[in-house]
Structure 1
Amino acid sequence: MQQLLKEERTENKTGTFSSAIGRFAEQITKFSGSTLAFSLATLLVLVWAVTGPVFKYSETWQLVINTGTTIITFLMVFLIQRAQNKDSLVLHLKLNELLAATQGASNRLINAQDFTEEEINTLHQYFCLLAEKAKADKDLGHTHSVEEAEENHEKKRKAHFPAEASK
């Protein structure tokens, strides 16, 4: 794992166009969320508003702010999506690490973000079943997996209804 990370870092530092754009996007993302960026944007709008009488509120004066905000908004959508994708991936990696490290936890959810919609719906149904069984047991936090819930449910059913268990 460490070797893979070292290779990835080395590849990113080699100066490829993609990694240069990535570093630039990272810097812009960090800056755009800062107080300084907000202050500069506010100042720009104030300067634009104050210059309105100078330009007699012309169509060109209005076009300047409209064009500027449109371009910035267009670019920011991509930066926000990039940041969200990165944050989501990091969150998934952390959850995968927790699942892999937790003894007794089901490994079926590692990389769940790569599942198809059908697989996600199937797992959702399993966890709904687990929740129903936990509610029936009056203990919402006792079991940790569908298999464990099935075993516990079967044991309880056999204990309460021995005649059915022999069928």
Structure 2
Amino acid sequence: MPQPHPSRFARVAQWASCQAGRPWAFILALLTVVVWAVSGPLFAWSDTWQLVINTGTTIITFLMVFLIQHAQNRDTQAIHVKLDELIRATQGAHNRLIALEDQSEEDLAEARAELRRVAETTEEAKRLVQARP
């Protein structure tokens, strides 16, 4: 089955978030701050000098929030699909847990409570078996 091509935004967001996490990106940011700080006396520590770093970092932060959120949403969706497939393919698994992230808070709490009950029952059964002479 042919794979659909991700949108241009998806490709750019994935690339940018990947690049932002690399060591060279940190070094570039650090060098930018050092150059800005060293240039302070040249600009007499003016308001404009301060505004340059404030504006630059604000704009970059604002844009990175959206790029990183997109990449995180995509990764989370992929993990959910993989987990759903594991649940579906595992004999004895509760299929009602598939796509649980799309259910209401009440459904999520109910599923969590049910799994706790199953775990507690299983633990109790193990203790009883181990206690037998």
Does residue 89 of the first structure (1) align with residue 77 of the second (2)?
Answer: yes
Structure of greater relative contact order (alpha carbons < 8 Å, 6+ residues apart):
2
Q: Which amino acid aligns with 1:118?
A: E
Residue 61 of structure 2 is matched in structure 1 by 73
Q: What runs of 5+ residues in structure 2 fail to find an aligned partner?
A: 128-133
Partners of 2:120 and 2:86 lie apart in 1 by: 25
Q: Report which of the two structures shows the higher radius of gyration computed on alpha carbons.
A: 1
Q: TM-score, normalised by structure 2?
A: 0.87
Task: Report the CA distance between 1:89 and its aligned residue.
Answer: 0.9
Task: Report the CA distance between 1:132 and its aligned residue.
Answer: 2.5
| C-alpha RMSD of matched pairs (Å) | 1.6
Q: SS of the residue aligned with 1:104?
A: coil
Residue 134 of structure 1 is matched in structure 2 by 122
Q: Which amino acid aligns with 1:48?
A: W
Does residue 107 of the first structure (1) align with residue 107 of the second (2)?
Answer: no
Task: Report the CA distance between 1:136 and its aligned residue.
Answer: 2.4
Partners of 1:79 and 1:24 lie apart in 2 by: 8
Partners of 1:25 and 1:119 lie apart in 2 by: 33
Task: Report the CA distance between 1:131 and its aligned residue.
Answer: 2.4
Partners of 2:15 and 2:124 lie apart in 1 by: 52
Q: Which amino acid aligns with 1:26?
A: Q
Please list the CA deviations of residues 23-61 of structure 1 after superposition, one character each: whole Å capped at 9, or x if unmatched. Answer: 122211111111111111111111101100100110100
Residue 44 of structure 1 is matched in structure 2 by 32
Asked whether the 8 Å contact 2:88–2:98 carries over to 1, the reply is yes
Partners of 1:116 and 1:97 lie apart in 2 by: 21
Q: Which amino acid aligns with 1:58?
A: S
Q: What runs of 5+ residues in structure 1 fail to find an aligned partner?
A: 14-18, 140-167
